Structure 1
Amino acid sequence: MNTSLSLLTKHVRGVLAASAAFSVMAIAPVHAQEAADAAEANAEDYEQIAIVGSRAAPRSVAESAVPIDIISDEEFKNQGATDVVSMMQTVVPSFNVNDQPINDASTLVRPANLRGMASDHTLVLVNGKRRHRSAVITFLGGGLSDGAQGPDISVIPAAALKQIEVLRDGAAAQYGSDAIAGVINFVLNDASEGGSFEARYGSYYEGDGDMIQLSGNIGMPLSDKGFINLSAEYRTADDTSRSVQRDDAAALVAAGNTFVADPAQIWGSPEIKHDYKLFANLGLELSDTAEAYMFGNFAEREVEGGFYYRNPHTRGGVYAADDGSLLVGDLTDDLSGNCPTDIIPGDNVLTNERYINEVANNPDCFAFNEILPGGFTPRFGGTVTDMSLVFGTRGELANDITYDVSLNLGENEVDFVISNTINPSLGPDTPFEFSPGRYTQSEQTLDVDFTKPFEIGLYEPLFVASGFQYRHESYESFAGDTASYEIGPLASQGFGIGSNGFPGLAANSQGLVSRHNIAFYVDAEAYITETFMLAGAIRYEDYSDFGDTTKGKVAFRWQALENIAFRGAFSTGFKAPTLGQSNVRNVTTAFGTDGKLIDRATLPPTDPVSQLKGGEQLTPEESESITFGVVADFDNGLFVTADYYNIELTDRISTASGIALTDEDIAILLDQGISDASSFSEISFFTNDFDTTTEGLDVVANYSMDMFEGETKFSLAYNWTSTEVDRASDNISAERIRMLEDNLPAVRYSATANHTNGDWRFLARLNYFGSIYEDHLDSALPIDKVGSEITIDLEMAYNFTEELTVTVGAKNAFDEYPDENTQYAGIAGSLYPTTSPIGINGGFYYLRGVYTF
């Protein structure tokens, strides 16, 4: 924490000084203010102004050459979801997110998917500036996002937002790496007066998962020429359980083991112990022709969830030896205890006479059944800390040249914690709680952008934008506490090393890696005729670690009829491998295909053992993307857009399926100084290992009408997506390929009716999720069809005064659940398929009060 804070503090003075120097050059108004004024002048959603998608004069959603969704702050208020990630799913057609029960670091930062791509294929901006990545790598991301390292957008409070702009088109040529699926731009509230305070309580129908959230926003003037807008949010949430007793745990209980918990393993949402978010947005007019701006955030979230149950008869390295016999340690210094190595546990080892006489009552011998007789289930979580600061100036120079110069500092840190577990090699002296290490992602970016219109005889001036970007990023790993990776005295006797479930990062494996890149771009756009607009962009980027790349884009918009326009784009894109993907070392516990737990080590792809198994230096992912659509704006108020997309993505980066280690491999790891290698069963590494083609259709429709003496707004967000794996190496299993192709719903849509009548408001939303395939527990346990589902959201609000509104509602009001996991529920105790798109928790009701001033 102190390290993180000091890093930002170190650069603040430089940012302030540089921005002040740039502001001296300013002499004209800025496009962003013009965009805001235009948006206020026309409140209809499809006429709102978007910053993303065009670097020329900002255009409305209807006039854009590429599909853009704008989510207003009002839409945030009309939902039962409490975080921005879940809110977006109901209004953006191809945006998907689901819960992550027992999914390692994914529990801390949920991966979200746009247009069927992984979570780090979407570029995230705040006020048009690149957002830094999370330090969390989703080692178990539910198939599609396995190995992804994207930004953590859940740290942005809804109270801080003016609107969200979602560009559903490849935009790497305009904005740089990661914009393969599209761009999400979070536009911060810039009000200089007024504010609001919101209190919200909610709970699941099952009576668990109680949630309390408090948030507020206030706008204040900064002299008479600027604003300060501050937002804060605080949230806590209890965990949930949708579990059944595991078959092996039930057998232990039936055999007389009274120490086994019921359920032994919990599947559900993690506990959010605290989650607070602070955001500030400032702007100041420096003259009639320029302004300075600054915005930034600080957020901290502590989350704890469950892990897999450790069976007291079968968990290798803790309770069981390789041959299945009871693992017994000799506590004498000279191994003179003559401890037994051939005890077969039977139905209940606690009643086994040999165990009682030769182990439990023998001070020279030790088995973990003595202190953890019913087995144990680790609790895993951590604290995510996120902060950023952006400072710059923008305005207009002579000859209609506009500029925007900014410095951007961002950092995300995750500090892992695991409890209710042991370091087996320490025997009876083991602690039961560990800090296995932390990871920090830091980024610093300088952006210099210019635009200028040129009169060249076209219907409109040719807008040309150009710019330069320099970005430095680093990824640092810090060792865990000594006990989390220590090699204890029982290691030589077959006991596992490190905190079981998530071994700590050893001191000799910690370190800092960094890189930098530079980019230049040119972006041009103009209406060739009154009805035909043409745009193009080209971008060159050079990375210090893998080389350079050049990408391009062309787009058009044709107003074919008064009410109908066609639009389309072709673009090439890329995503650079992240520093985390190239360098991280991590150990996770996964379910093996034989039903037993295995420790899988993720190593750098250039590690000697990884290279023995096919690992190579990572290269960028490359994409070609086509979008074609129609925009219909009818006189009766119906507004419809339909956009087809096709994305060919080659050399995709993901984690290889687990590869078994031989004794020779383990010996090489030990020679490298990886002292806990004897505990590993498998390895994995990041690899450019497969190609895909993803195509889909997004349909968005809006219509308003007067009815029942009030006004009703209807909206539809529809998506069809299909992905095919065109090429895959032997490192990708058949089940993994099927997850990539079929784990997202092929069809998903939300249809909403929002009726306002005086002081009353009523909302109803129908959500449809198509069927999916799940490889249960990622261990070759196929659920070929998790059936399609329909859920209904209901909400009713009443304005008691002009300032106070109270809302009651229910998300998944009719308490729908996915199909029960009848095939494999007994294996690990999961009552429902864990990757179900509707989640596994059922209905959620809530009460919300908002006071506006």
Structure 2
Amino acid sequence: MASATPALAQESGTTAQIEENQAIIITGTRQANRSAADTVAPVDIVSSDELTNQADTDVSNLLRIAVPSFNVNTQPISDAATLVRPANLRGLSPDNTLVLVNGKRMHRAAVIAFLGGGISDGSQGPDVSTIPTIAIKQLEVLRDGASSQYGSDAIAGVMNFIIKDDSDGGMFTAKWGSTYEGDGDLYQIGANVGLPITDNGFLNLSAEYGESDATSRSVQRDDAAALIAAGNTAVADPAQIWGQPNVNDDFKTFANFGIDFTPNLTLYAFGNYAERNVDGGFFFRNPTNRGGVYAGPLVDPVTGFADPNGVPSVLVGDMSNTTAGDCPAGIPLTGTNGLIPDPTILAAVSADPNCFSFVELFPGGFTPRFGGDLRDFSVATGVRGQVLGGLDFDLSYRYGKNRVDFFINNTINASLGPNTPTSFNPGGYRQAENLVNLNLGHEVSLGSTGSMYVAAGAEYRDETFTTIAGDPESFALGPLAQPTAAFPFGQGFSTSSNGFGGFSNNAAGSATEDTKAAYLDVEADLADTVTLQGALRYEDTKTFGDNLSWKLGGLYKISDSFRVRSTYSTGFHVPTAGQANVINVTTQFSNGMLQDEGTFPLFSPAGLIVADYVADSTANGGLGLARPTLGPEEADSFTAGVAGDFGDVTFTLDYFNITLKDRISRSSTINFTDALLYLAAREGVPVTSTTTAGLLAELSTAGVINRGDFTGFEDLTSFAFFNNAFDTRTQGIDFVANARLPFVDGATTQATLAINYTDTKVKDADATISATRIRQLEENLPNWKGFLNLTHEQGRMRGLLRANYFGSFYEAHLDDGTLPIDAKARVTVDAELGYEVIDGLEIAAGAQNLFDTYPTRNPWAGIAGAQYAVTSPYGFNGGSYYIRARFMW
């Protein structure tokens, strides 16, 4: 990187072509005209060409083979994380990386990744996939802690997307591709145009539109295969899909504007609008044993009435809901291996309007389809320039909003019986942010010894996270779950839309957080050989107190060709308004069965119950652990490295060490039923039920809880919360080398070798974090990752060949530590060949994963149907190919 292809840089509103090792950057420094080679901390530059000359169309996927320390994987069955995939820089959580656009903080996505593969559980970061690739001029990646310069979140580093600012010319692209398997077709069209605004300004417009089809790398689940073998012809094959989701109507736009009113005063503005529809599959609901839908009691094999010595059954509901015994308790499971409902009793249940079983509606079980409609909008405007004979200033305002509206189809609210819809709108999330920023700077001469640039500024930022209630049917407590005299604990049917319960009215609402900050940043060039940097930032939050972070760094030029550099900094990250306040229920695979898991704020009624249960002594029925709390996380970061520039060969080698204390994360789950039993014992309430719904009913009758606070949560078996439960130490190295290779006269051949090693160790974890979760944090991402990239240009022909190395990793399949996958290292190869057929028009063809390399096969594939390790850092679709036309003028 840094950079394999020439990078464009912005300087006083003009655009210039600059040699790779002298590319001007604006990230990590307030100094004008600072090159990437002269920064005290490493900054990688990824050019527009590096992002566009690839098979993929998603920015996140493009970055994982352009930035070695950046990781993102496919999220096939991960609730909202499938819609906005969490990405990791340097092995840390997605919200430990600060994302900027044109130097201004990008707003977060509304999605919180409740299922994030261990590392990203509970994270809420920006959605970089809303940025059109064609709009990006260059990406600058600061590989250093920078909270003292930019504020909360900049612990792993900073990613700054610089948007094109050309005032003329343009580009049109069209791309089509598919996988070797013949699925996953994708296409994308894009356009960029630069327009002059008088003689002193520009308006640069970009847009992309595309779609990508779903893939399937699935095998039939063992239980579904057994159902088919037993004669159930309604079961799909495969019953459950593992693959990338459908992405429809993926539309992205970006506008960038600037005009110089005077040589010392510039007005600028930029903004975006994006939307897309994402639709993917969920877990298969087995028609014999899915709890709350199909799983019935032990019954007499002849009559279907309850019998503790009987056979398993399919649950039957009494629609009258007034007199127990009107209907059989269940339809006995008979036939081959006891997998087929008894046809005689099934016929009797179907014929009786007072009785109902879901095998009448979905005899082969069902697999919900879950997705969402995403919209993203932002606008920024400001003025910058110079006043008072040398005081630089930049005053700006930015507003950003991200929203997602969920949908789930091919599912039910079982408590509504035969009257259930099969499609639901469970509600949605909104994230809105305002940012006001003032930067001031002045260069001070140090005489013959050099100069010093002093920058200071202030910032105000607020965010609002909103949960929108779903349609009433998506969280309703229907007649088959309502307690009655005949059925005091309901009839055992689950409430809410199965798979993703709707947000009830008591879960809906808004939460806010705001931050006020001031900073001082000093950067001094002493003589020609030494650069020193120091920064100090004070930040005060509404809810989580204040913080003072600082940074010291230095660069020493041993010679014109060799530099050494080092930094030490402190950092912090405060919980988002969403993390602190969100209420959510999701369905996870646990102990071989599907179960509903809740996430609640610690201050909520449910959160207080569980917090007391966790903290109370074992003698009182609690767990006897430290009481969970939620507050800021703090970091100490150290880097040291060398950089060399020997003409045709340049390199950087940097070591980093990040200690992160009190990490914010979603806890491992706590048994909610046990917590309610603890509450009943503490309050002296005699209870007879052992189910969540029953316990809630009894505790409500006794006046211990307000039943309305738990609407929609009757099916919970476990509970999680956001807390500060562990520390980590992450360390590693980054090596980047570039070389121009003598090959053919009149041709340009360049090679880039980039290697990243990252190792994370969990320290001081409390008992709310499981051993499986700890191993996921330490081993789910490969320690070693890198690529060797070759580009060749000769006349009208251009070629690219890249080998990508992904080290071994561990996967807790289905987040279950008893299902380990020790995935082996792999090398994938990408290739592209382009030819300029006429001036400005290039046709290119290429392949990603040329040799169709797959991750390690899943030894537990029969459990849920996943053929490969699904958290693979390079996906599990295998090879793909594409063609692209690009016209530039």
TM-score range, shorter chain: over 0.9
Q: Report which stretch shifted further, 615-624 or 772-781.
A: 615-624
CA offset digits 1:475-496 (Å, max 9, x no partner): 1111001110111111121110
Kept after mapping to 2: 8 A contact 1:189/1:229: yes
- Partner of 1:34 in structure 2? 11
1:767 Cα offset (Å): 0.4
The answer to whether 1:596 aligns with 2:596 is: no
Read off the aligned partner of 2:657 and give its amino acid letter. Answer: N
Is the counterpart of residue 586 in structure 1 residue 574 in structure 2? no
CA deviations on 1:200-254 (whole Å, 9 max, x unpaired) are 0000000000001011001101122211100000010110000000000001001
TM-superposed deviation, 1:801: 1.3
1:720 aligned residue (749, 757, 779): 757
Pairwise CA distance, 1:343: 4.3
Cα contact 1:604–1:610 (8 A) shared by 2: no
Retained in 2: the 8 A contact 1:650–1:692?
yes
Q: 1:619 aligns with which of 620, 626, 631?
A: 631
Q: Which segments of 5 or more consecutive residues in structure 2 lack a partner in the other structure?
A: 1-8, 299-311, 482-489, 615-626, 680-691, 700-704
Q: Give 1:200-215 correspondences, 5 Å limit.
A: 200-215=175-190
Q: Secondary structure at the match of 1:425?
A: helix
1:675 lines up with 2:687 in the alignment: no
- In 2, are the aligned partners of 1:331 and 1:337 still within 8 Å (CA)? no
Q: Distance in 1 between matches of 2:528 and 2:815?
A: 55
Deviation at 1:335, TM superposition (A): 2.9
Matched, 1:109 2:84: yes
Percent identical: 48
Please give the alpha-carbon distance, in whole angstroms, between the structure 1 residues aligned to 2:183 and 2:67. 29
Please tell me whether residue 246 in structure 1 is matched to residue 221 in structure 2: yes
8 Å contact from structure 1 (residues 610, 685) kept in 2: no
Residue number among 135, 144, 147 corresponding to 2:110 in the alignment: 135
Identify the match of residue 401 of structure 2 among 408, 411, 428: 411
The alignment status of 1:469 with 2:480, answered yes or no, reads no
Query: Given the alignment of the two structures, is residue 653 of structure 1 paired with residue 630 of structure 2, yes or no?
Result: no
User: Aligned equivalents of 1:672 and 1:650: distance in 2?
Assistant: 37
Structure-2-length-normalised TM-score: 0.90
Matched, 1:500 2:498: yes
- The answer to whether residue 802 in structure 2 is matched with residue 765 in structure 1 is yes
Matched with 2:617 is none
SS at match of 1:692: strand
Q: Residues 723, 47 of structure 1: CA spacing in aligned structure 2 closer, same or farther, 3 A cutoff? A: same
What is residue 151 of structure 1 aligned with on the other side? Answer: 126
Q: 8 Å contact 2:214–2:246 — kept in the other structure?
A: yes
Deviation of 1:111 after TM superposition, in Å, equals 1.1
Q: Kindly report the root-mean-square deviation, in angstroms, between the aligned alpha carbons of the 2 structures.
A: 1.6
Preserved CA contact (<8 Å) 1:252 1:348: no
For residue 333 of structure 2, what is the amino acid of its counterpart? P
Contact (CA 8 Å) 1:260, 1:375: kept in 2 or not? Answer: yes
Look up the SS of the partner of 1:677 in the other structure. Answer: coil
Q: Does structure 2 conserve the Cα–Cα contact (< 8 Å) formed by 1:350 and 1:369?
A: no
Q: What does 1:549-568 align with in structure 2 at a 5 Å threshold?
A: 549-568=547-566
Aligned to 2:567: 569
SS of structure 1 residue aligned to 2:237 = coil
CA distance in 2, matches of 1:148, 1:138: 5
Check whether the contact 1:479–1:507 (CA below 8 A) recurs between aligned residues: yes
Give the AA of the match of 1:618. L
1:851 aligns with 2:887: yes
SS in 1 for 2:634: strand
C-alpha deviation, 1:836, in angstroms? 1.1
Q: Which amino acid aligns with 1:733?
A: S
Partner of 2:543: 545
Q: What does residue 355 of structure 2 align with?
A: 365
Change in 2 beyond 3 A, CA 1:569/1:672:
farther
- Comparing 528-537 and 377-386, the one that deviates more: 528-537
Cα distance in structure 2, aligned partners of 1:629 and 1:699 = 10
Q: 1:746 to 1:260 in 2, by over 3 A?
A: same
628, 644, 659: which one aligns with 1:632: 644
d(CA) in 1 for partners of 2:663, 2:711:
32
Work out the number of aligned pairs and report it: 817
SS of 1:257's partner is coil
**Aligned equivalents of 1:731, 1:421: Cα separation in 2:** 33
State the partner residue of 1:807.
844
**2:167 and 2:527 mapped to 1: Cα distance?**
40
8 Å contact kept, 2:842–2:886: yes
One-letter identity of the residue aligned with 1:106: A
Deviation at residue 41 of structure 1 after TM alignment: 4.8
Q: Deviations over 1:184-211 (max 9, x none)?
A: 0010100011101100000000000000
Change (3 A) 1:351 1:545: closer
Q: Note the C-alpha offset of 1:613.
A: 4.3
2:825 to 785, 788, 808: 788
Distance 1:626 1:616 in 2: 30
Contact 2:378–2:398 (CA under 8 A) maintained in structure 1: yes
Deviations 1:516-568 (A, max 9, x none): 11000000010223211110000000001111100000010001123110011
Moved more, 606-615 or 760-769: 606-615
Matches of 2:35 and 2:345 in 1, distance apart? 75
Q: Deviations over 1:430-471 (max 9, x none)?
A: 101101011100000100110001224462211100000011
Q: Which of 254, 262, 274 is matched with 1:299 structurally?
A: 274
The separation in 1 between residues aligned to 2:505 and 2:849, in whole angstroms, is 47
CA distance in 2, matches of 1:163, 1:459: 34
By how many angstroms is 1:399 displaced?
3.3
Q: Which amino acid aligns with 1:494?
A: G
1:801-832: CA deviation from partner (whole Å, max 9, x where unpaired): 1210000000001101011112x100000000
| Distance apart, 1:358 and its partner CA | 4.1
Q: Which moved more, 1:55-64 or 1:813-822?
A: 55-64
Question: Which of 859, 871, 877 pairs up with 1:841?
Answer: 877
CA contact (8 A) 1:320 1:326 kept: yes
Contact in 1 for aligned 2:134/2:190 (Cα 8 Å):
yes
Give the aligned partner of residue 790 of structure 2.
753
How far 1:673 sits from its partner (Å)?
A: 2.2
Q: Kindly indicate whether the alpha-carbon contact (under 8 Å) linking 1:773 and 1:782 is maintained by their aligned counterparts in 2.
A: no
Q: Secondary structure at the match of 1:326?
A: strand
| Cα distance in 2 between the residues matched to 1:675 and 1:326 | 26
User: Offset at 1:71?
Assistant: 1.0
* SS of the residue 2:714 aligns to: helix
TM-score, L = length of structure 1: 0.94
SS at match of 2:11: helix
Aligned-partner Cα distance in 2 for 1:610–1:528: 58
Residue 301 of structure 1: how far off its partner (Å): 1.0
The residue that corresponds to 1:695 in the other structure is: 731
> d(CA) in 2 for partners of 1:613 and 1:262?
44
Question: Does the 8 Å CA contact 2:518/2:539 hold for their aligned counterparts?
Answer: yes
Give the Cα–Cα distance (whole angstroms) in 1 for the partners of residues 324 and 525 of structure 2.
89
Does the CA-based 8 Å contact 2:314-2:341 persist in structure 1? no
Find the aligned partners of 2:708 and 2:479 in 1 and give their Cα distance. 21
Instruction: Determine the structure 2 residue equivalent to 1:423.
Output: 413
Shift of 1:36: 6.6
Structure 2 counterpart of 1:529, which letter? A
Determine if contact 1:603/1:610 at 8 Å carries over to the other structure. Answer: no
Letter aligned with residue 680 of structure 1: L
